[in-house]
Structure 1
Amino acid sequence: RQRRGDFKRRGIPDPCKAERFSLTWTITNFSFAEGCVESSFFTNAREQLKWSLFLSTNGVGLQNERCLSFYFNLVSGPETGVRCKGRMAILNSEGEEAISRGESVWTFKTVKLRNTKSGILQDDTLTLTCEVSSIHVLCRPENTQLQQVKVPECRMAEELGDLWDQSLLPDCSLVVGGQEFQAHKAILAARCPVFRAMFLHDMKERRTVSLCPPSLCLSLPEVLKELVTFIYTGKVPNLQDMATELLVAADMYLLERLKRMCEDALCRSLTVENAVEILIFTDLHLTPNLREEAITFIKSHLFDIIETPGWESLQADHPHLIGEVNRALFSVGAPAKRPCLF
């Protein structure tokens, strides 16, 4: 296959506006063409579009006669899209239009080509001419973005929080320290394994009743309020102020994420004054990350910490923790000169 002829373009300064050109495609050995035949690539004047012509020989007409199809093919162009209008024509041996259509895709019966009177197929050569009257590259307005559907942010946590804060449509009560909180069994059961077990264990608990949660190691209403706020919203407004109490409650109610949040808050709050207290706390509750951070902090501030009252309590009541600190001090890579703590 080959393409013959030149473009006759009329340049338009604005690349978003129409641009006209014409070309001629000559197909030799036409009788051997099978399937699809593609022309060489061609471009418009500004070369931002790449085109080709396709000839399909596999078409079948209404009466099962063999048909051909010609059409434009946009090989590459802008993401914004392209609109194209034009006409095609098949030339006879005199260079005159024998068959023409004002469409960019069209079909015709091959019997018309084989008609010797038409003079179309001379020396088994088919000549096709195309005139593109309008190529319109769709442009985006300058300094604007494509309009997109704006999906609202998910407000589930806030909406569930409103149910809790405003006591909307409650069906159970939580009572701690003589204070009652209205809540929703479905939400508590969905978010907390312990509450789920409470509601499923006894048929009576499936009705609207007052619940007395097991000791939160606290019996403090404010801690229960923070715990249930987390269950509803995933947030803990006063985490830093009651991290130790909430960690105990989270451990008891199997709220692993809340437990890790409390550990992180305590790690960030380590000081010379509270490091020993936090280390002792980790001995009572399974918090390996917090334990490691507390020991590391004590190693780094040892000479200041051994002067605090908490250190004496550690030596007297938790000698095994002194042993852990010693092992950390004399571990591989630790400085050679360290005091022995007992």
Structure 2
Amino acid sequence: ISEEKIPDSAAEMSSVRCYTQCKTEKFSLTWTITKFSFAEAVVRSSSFTNASEELKWSLLLYTNGVSHYEGYLSLYFQLDSGPQTGIRAKGRMVILNSDGEEIKVHTMRDRNVLGFDTFARREDIMDEEAGILRDDTLTVTCEVCSVYITTLNTLDVKVPECRMADELGNLWDQSLLPDCSLVVGGQEFQAHKAILAARCPVFRAMFTHDMKERQTNRVEIQGVEPEVLRELVTFIYSGKAPNIQDMAADLLVAADMYLLDRLKRMCEEVLCRSLTVENAAEILIIADLHLTPELKEEAITFINRWMLYLLFSFSHFSDVLRTPGWKTVQMDHPCLMGELYHSLVSAGASPAKRPRRY
């Protein structure tokens, strides 16, 4: 660097700042491939994105390996959109057996190549005694933390982030300047007609047409618990549902009632990840009644997988059929029972092996 002094008479001087930004994203993916033995040489998963939607990924599986690694399964992450350089990642890529147990585990430690040439030997996967494939289905799960670095030049101006959602949420949380009330279960919540009408078609109809609610500025709500209504209105104001994990089923019903499609899909996503043997029947009923086809399909698939497993253990099967959810399906939803029956037969269960009550 030259030590020559810059003359004071320099006509202009521009000031530019440079900053390097390191971003990390954690995500997980479970990928199920049916009819695996018939899969072509290269199989690609559907695309998925991170929370900020800045990166879009997919998985590539070479069913007979890449060059020089024939006889192996080669598995890689592929970056479909986002920065094409500077991406590094660490995490785990795992093969699950038919009981959901981890069989083959690979750990990535800050690699540039996101995946493995020799992820697993094909003959080990196809070995029936290994119990990895059931009904010719392969399941892979991945947990990844990606890091990407960007360096930018910028003028010395920082634009504040938009905090509109938080500020509108404060109107609701602090009951600032309300002009209407929502009454449910003996509790009364203060709210704002303009915000409710702007964000919810049902409230818009109440406050813009010649209805009682428009005259009284008071809405009597039935069929919703107070804590569920509070969460629903929080979403209307802020676009967020902080307690969705604890009330996804009830919140989905309320979101459907008030035509909040995005909240309904958020609940649907949570329920798809929350299926268990004990709640699958209840979730299936909700999905059928409230027209959520993706959740319904996921519930039926989940039930089929467990039914095929439980059929070989009649005692466990009987315990499941005695749960309240299953009793409701059998007594009140015969059409759903028919769908489950046909789906189970299609999945490969012989009716002769099925308990008579089913």
If the TM-score is normalised by the length of the shorter chain, which range does it land in? 0.5 to 0.7
CA distance in 1, matches of 2:195, 2:345: 50
Report the counterpart of residue 301 of structure 2 in structure 1: 296
Aligned residue identity for 2:162: C
Please, what is the CA RMSD of the aligned residues? 3.4
SS at match of 1:330: helix
Report the counterpart of residue 327 of structure 1 in structure 2: 342
CA-CA distance at 1:324 after TM superposition: 1.2
Alignment of 1:204-215 (within 5 A): 205-206=213-214, 209-213=217-221, 215=222
Equivalent of 2:206 in 198, 207, 214: 198
CA-CA distance at 1:326 after TM superposition: 2.5
* 1:187 partnered with 2:202: no
Aligned residue identity for 1:232: Y
CA distance in 2, matches of 1:205, 1:273: 41
Equivalent of 2:238 in 211, 233, 236: 233
Q: Is the Cα–Cα contact under 8 Å of residues 169 and 238 in structure 2 kept in the other structure?
A: yes
CA-CA distance at 1:233 after TM superposition: 0.4
Segment drifting more, 318-327 vs 202-211: 202-211
Q: 1:312 to 1:190 in 2, by over 3 A?
A: closer
Report the counterpart of residue 248 of structure 1 in structure 2: 253
Q: Is the Cα–Cα contact under 8 Å of residues 231 and 241 in structure 2 kept in the other structure?
A: yes
Equivalent of 1:284 in 282, 289, 301: 289
CA-CA distance at 1:230 after TM superposition: 0.5
Equivalent of 2:165 in 154, 157, 161: 157
SS at match of 1:241: helix
SS at match of 1:181: strand
Aligned residue identity for 2:200: C
CA-CA distance at 1:143 after TM superposition: 8.4
Q: Is the Cα–Cα contact under 8 Å of residues 175 and 191 in structure 2 kept in the other structure?
A: yes
Aligned residue identity for 1:306: F
Q: Is the Cα–Cα contact under 8 Å of residues 17 and 154 in structure 2 kept in the other structure?
A: no
CA distance in 1, matches of 2:277, 2:194: 44
CA distance in 2, matches of 1:159, 1:139: 34
SS at match of 2:329: helix
TM-score, length-scaled by structure 1 = 0.54
CA-CA distance at 1:146 after TM superposition: 3.6
Report the counterpart of residue 273 of structure 1 in structure 2: 278
TM-score, length-scaled by structure 2 = 0.51
Aligned residue identity for 1:193: P
Q: Is the Cα–Cα contact under 8 Å of residues 171 and 208 in structure 1 kept in the other structure?
A: no
1:89-138 CA-to-partner distances (Å, cap 9, x unmatched) read: xxxxxxxxxxxxxxxxxxxxxxxxxxxxxxxxxxxxxxxxxxxxxxxxx9
Report the counterpart of residue 81 of structure 2 in structure 1: none
Report the counterpart of residue 7 of structure 1 in structure 2: none
Larger radius of gyration: 1
Q: Is the Cα–Cα contact under 8 Å of residues 200 and 259 in structure 2 kept in the other structure?
A: yes
1:207-238 CA-to-partner distances (Å, cap 9, x unmatched) read: 6632213x2x23x2111111100000011111
Q: 1:235 to 1:291 in 2, by over 3 A?
A: same
Q: Is the Cα–Cα contact under 8 Å of residues 232 and 254 in structure 2 kept in the other structure?
A: yes
Q: Is the Cα–Cα contact under 8 Å of residues 174 and 183 in structure 1 kept in the other structure?
A: yes
CA-CA distance at 1:206 after TM superposition: 4.3
CA-CA distance at 1:306 after TM superposition: 3.1
Report the counterpart of residue 78 of structure 2 in structure 1: none
CA-CA distance at 1:203 after TM superposition: 7.2
CA-CA distance at 1:329 after TM superposition: 2.5
CA-CA distance at 1:179 after TM superposition: 0.9
Report the counterpart of residue 177 of structure 1 in structure 2: 185
How many residue pairs match? The answer is 210
Q: Is the Cα–Cα contact under 8 Å of residues 191 and 231 in structure 1 kept in the other structure?
A: yes
Q: Structure 1: where are the runs of 5+ without partners? A: 1-12, 19-137
Give me the identity figure in percent: 65
